[in-house]
Every structure is written in C-alpha cells, then in structure tokens.
Amino acid sequence: MKFTPTKYSLETVATGRQFEDKGWSLSDPLCETPSLIRAVYDNPRFTPRDKFQGIYRYADWLPIKRTLRKCAGPVTYRSKGLAKELGLSNLFITFTGYAPEIGAEVTTCSFKATEAYSVCARLPRKMDKVLVVASAGNTARSFAQVCSDNNIPLVICIPRDNISALWFYKKLKSCVKIIATPSGSDYFDAIALGDKLCLSERYLAEGGAKNVARRDGMGTTLLSAVECIGAIPDAYFQAVGSGTGAIAVWENNLRLIADGRFGDKKMRIYASQNAPFTVMYDSWKAGKRELIQLDPEDSRRKAAEIDAKVLSNRKPPYSIAGGLYDALVDTKGDMFKVTNDELNFWQRRFMSLEGYDIYSAAACAVASLSEAVKTGVVGKDEVIMLNITGGGEEKAKSSGYFMSMPDLILSPSMAEDQIISQVDKLFGF
C-alpha cells in the first residue's frame, strides 16, 4: 500500500517558535538556549490506521516519509496476575517484546524497536550517508535489525562489554557495521566515538533524544495504551536510562489532551533508576534542574555494578527545555531507585505472574510500582500504565540465533581522522 508522508512542522519547546523540518532537523538554529524540538502534526486527532502494521498504525503522529518492512509494535492488555499481586484494579501493561501468545511480535525484544522503525522511516529512500547510532545494547540490536532488514547503511557504536546484546534471529547484512569501544568503557564513551565519526560529511548522527522521530516512535507505547483503555491513564511507570521514553509519552499525553476525546489529565510520570547509577534520581531528589556532577571513573564503576546496564547514561536529556525534569514537574511525577536485589526479585516474580520473561530494566519499573503501591503514592483503583520496555528473549532465542561481533574496536580518545579513516574502509569509501 502506498504511503503518503506525514505532514508536520517543528516547534521549539523553549520559545514556541514553529519552523519547517529541513529533513533531519535536530534543533532550532535560532534558539540560544538548550531545547528540544517537537513535531506538530497537521492532524490533531488521534487516528490509528488499521491498514498499517506495528507502530505505523499511528503514522499520523510519526514524522516519517515511508514505512519499512517487518514493523511490529507495543501491545497493551489489562493485567490479571501482577494486578492481583499488588491489589490494583486497573493495571494495564504495555509490552514491547516477544510474546506471541499476547500478540507481541517484536523479535528484538525491546521497545527500542519503536525508535528504529520511526527514525529510519524519517530517512529518505535513497540514502547518501551512513546513519550512526550509539547504544548501550538494546538500541543497537533494534537499529541493526531494522537497518539490515531494509538495506539501510548503519554504524553501531557500542561498549565492548555490552556486545552480548548483539544477538539476532538471522545474520546481519553487510550494510550494518559494528564499532566497539574498548573493555572498561561505557555508553558515554560510545557516544563520544560516534560524535567523532560524524565529523565526516559521509556519516549522519541519529541524534538520540533530540530526534523527534525517536521520541514519537517511543511515544507509541502510550498510544497503544490509550487505544486499549479508551482514556489517558492516571499514572505511568517506566525505568529510564536517558528518560527519552518518559519524555515521549508526556508529549503524546499533551497531544491527546488537545484532541479532547480521551480526557484532560496529565498522567503522573514515575521514572526509576537502578542503584547505584542514579544520576537523574539524585538530581531530582535534590530539587535541581541541572544534573549533579559525576566523576567519569566513578560513573563507569557504578555502571558496571548495576544489572540493568541500559540504564547507565551519563549525559541524559534531563535538564534541557522539554527534557525529563520538565516532564516530571509538569505531571507532578517522581523518581524511584531500585537495587539489583529488588529488580531481580521482580524479574522472577513477573514471569510467574504474567507468563513471560522481562529484562532487568523492565523489572526495575515493576519494583518501583510495587514501592509506589506500598507507600500509597498510587491508589488501588487508579488507572495505571506500566511500560514493560523489553522481554521475551528466552522464547525469541529458542529457535536459534546468531551473535554479531565488532568489525572494529576503537577508542574514543583516538583522533577523529583516524576513526573516520578506519570506518571508511569498512564501507569502501
């Protein structure tokens, strides 16, 4: 079926200025303060498209030029097992992973697939540049699979210690290259490596949280929930590394309020981090917009200690206008911190209650929901959305899988011309 590109403009959160997307705008060139930009869609009404698959059902609120093959998306259902365990009457779970028995068909097992299907569909069909994505694991797997399936040139930058995340149901095509930073490095080091590579005009930075397509792809989790529930939830729970997913649902919450058919509430956003890596939790509890200062070596040590490795972003979009701090303030939300022991308990318990395995990061969100119920932060009859951001890996791997190893191992401390030269050779430039 022929797809007509979605019509939209861009708006700067800090100033409210609207302007045209030049194709890959990541910021407003006229804004003097750090600010996210948002997509303002020509269609202000939530209008799912039944004829399209996965997240493309919500194409009217995605800044995309086309659709891609093998697209899947989130599934929302009313919880029975976990709801009974916690004494909640209106708990809805939005799951983006692999559990065919509930209709979840994301073979990469992570809600990061929603980012990849949206970001890559924002690209023109004929690409003259190589997309560059930095990741701590799940994002890398999702972008690699989507780009391989759709013949999109891609460089993944990932810490060497996280390479176990790069498993796939089939071998990747040669259009995808994997560059790892050395052992002992972290996600921020992978970002730094990608930044140097993108100093060459042959490479295109994906943009992370600044990319409206990434956020609005992730925001389809709320659209799935609202389509199931019929109304905006009262409260939302998610574990965060960068906070981009929480920002994304906040933005779609505002769009749904403007629509007017799903209520006028701003659902309270409850974000959680895995202790001891709690830079956003600590900043929030200190009442500060600016992130607390982190020592790089101490941060790497803490990142190594947590079980939910994907929650270890040292430079998250917390302070920027339109970032997580603003989302928490605007929705009267809060943050939780969860220990490894707590998330491990809830990872096992969730499996017994709901019937499918979930990742450590998702279990972090479950643990924070349990704490919120115990302390009365949420009411037993409130409508609660729990974003289970990944799982189903056991079943996805049961029929076999392939591991991908780095094409290169490069230090971000290398000169940019050396980095660019070595990666150029992989693509025959």
Judged against a pLDDT cut of 80, whether residue 20 lies above it is answered with: yes
The CATH 3.40.50.1100 portion of the chain extends over 75-108+214-396
The CATH class, in words, for 75-108+214-396 is: alpha beta
pLDDT bin (cut points 50, 70, 90) of residue 283 is very high
Contact 256, 262 (CB under 8 A): yes
- Each residue of 176-211: pLDDT tens digit? 999 999 998 888 899 999 999 999 999 999 999 999
Cis? peptide before 5, omega within 30° of 0: no
pLDDT bin (cut points 50, 70, 90) of residue 78 is very high
Model-level pTM? 0.95
Query: What pLDDT shows up at residue 184?
Result: 87
Query: What pLDDT shows up at residue 337?
Result: 98
Mean pLDDT, rounded, of the chain = 96
Kindly state the average pLDDT of the residues 284-300. Answer: 92
Judged against a pLDDT cut of 80, whether residue 100 lies above it is answered with: yes
pLDDT bin (cut points 50, 70, 90) of residue 384 is very high
Question: Strand 130-134 and strand 203-205: pairing?
Answer: parallel
Judged against a pLDDT cut of 80, whether residue 405 lies above it is answered with: yes
Residues in the chain: 429
- Each residue of 218-238: pLDDT tens digit? 999 999 999 999 999 999 999
The closest of 79, 97, 100, 98 to 89, measured between CA atoms, is 79
CATH of region 130-201+400-429, choose from 2.60.40, 3.40.50, 1.10.3470, 2.40.128: 3.40.50
pLDDT bin (cut points 50, 70, 90) of residue 313 is confident
pLDDT bin (cut points 50, 70, 90) of residue 1 is low
Q: Which is higher by pLDDT, 410 or 127?
A: 410
